[in-house]
Chain A
């Protein structure tokens, strides 16, 4: 079982560059989300999706876009990278069908913007 797979694991970008962080899950979970983790800030929700074709903003959405064309994939796009987006990004998925067992997290993408 792969669970939630994130790629790449590490990335260095120059200010102004764009890129896509990939996230895929093989558990047929309806709900997927992106968080960023910064020191002293815990995890903050960027965007989330309750199913294919449906996305919504979280707590810190500015500078990021998402789409959900399939149940399995939920890519996060940085439109024009800024140093403030240096962070560790986590993708997670869950399903109401599994009850309240929380989320399954990917192993993270460490992004540095220089």
Chain B
């Protein structure tokens, strides 16, 4: 079945550092790919999305490119802020499906 794998260990960075959170997936056909963010005590919010190969999703300085050849959707930001501290989830929705499959989540902490 469809699955998503993302780095499980927490990530701690200093403010203004470059961020990469890896995400790879297994799915048949052409799934849609998403990054969700969960701030402390809150529900999940859609951060960005990409629906076809080579699409780049972007929002709030975050970017991720849908790479079909490497089945990846890595999240990047050039200069992180303390306010970016949150848990980030990579997810996919299979082609023609409605179910969303999540990765394990990566906790990001940004120190001033």
**Considering only CB atoms and an 8 Å cut-off, how many residues of chain A contact the other chain?**
25
Main secondary structure of the interface of B (DSSP, over half): strand
Flag A39-58 by CB within 8 Å of B: 1 or 0 each: 01111110010100000001
Flag B20-54 by CB within 8 Å of A: 1 or 0 each: 00000000000010101000001111100101000
Q: Are A90 and B44 in contact (CB under 8 A)?
A: yes
Q: Are A100 and B32 in contact (CB under 8 A)?
A: yes
Q: Which of B46, B91, B98, B105 interacts with A96 by CB under 8 Å?
A: B98
**For this complex, into which size category does the number of interface residues on chain B fall?**
20 to 34
A40-B104, A41-B104, A42-B105 in contact; A101/B99 too (CB < 8 A)? Answer: no
Q: Are A101 and B98 in contact (CB under 8 A)?
A: no
A102-B34, A102-B49, A105-B44 in contact; A50/B104 too (CB < 8 A)? Answer: no
Q: Are B98 and A50 in contact (CB under 8 A)?
A: yes
Taking Cβ atoms with an 8 Å cutoff, the residues of A that contact B are 31, 33, 35, 40-45, 48, 50, 58, 90, 92, 94, 96, 99-103, 105-108
